[in-house]
């Protein structure tokens, strides 16, 4: 696993852990999340993506995601029929 990929996975875990608190103040926003906190919040995914690139560059481990209540995602149709 590459160093950048591992860092992005760790940042994604921090985002998921922070999500309950983020919902209180940023629900519905697209955010750039780095070092366990929101770096910036935006109205659209495109704005957040551009801000993340402008601020951190293309090789920095940061997360762009929407602050919303998450639900489990069925990863395989085979699981549905077990």
Give the chain's domain count. 1
In 1-82, the DSSP E strands lie at 30-34, 37-42, 63-66
Instruction: Give pLDDT tens digits for 31-78.
Output: 999 999 999 999 999 999 999 999 999 889 999 999 999 876 666 655
> Residue 81 has what pLDDT?
55
Q: Confirm if 26 and 66 have CB atoms less than 8 A apart.
A: no
Per the structure, the complete domain to which residue 20 belongs is given by: 3-80
Instruction: Give pLDDT tens digits for 3-40.
Output: 888 999 999 999 999 999 999 999 999 999 999 999 99
Which residue has tokens 């940061």?
A: 62
| Higher-confidence position of 59 and 1 | 59
| Higher-confidence position of 79 and 33 | 33
């Amino acid at each position: 696993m590459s160093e950048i990929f591992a860092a992005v996975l760790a940042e994604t875990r921090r985002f998921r852990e922070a999500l309950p608190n983020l919902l209180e103040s940023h629900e519905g926003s697209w955010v750039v999340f780095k070092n366990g906190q929101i770096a910036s919040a935006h109205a659209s995914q495109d704005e957040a993506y551009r801000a993340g690139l402008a601020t951190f560059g293309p090789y920095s481990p940061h997360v762009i995601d929407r602050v919303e209540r998450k639900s489990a995602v069925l990863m395989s149709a085979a699981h549905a029929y077990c």
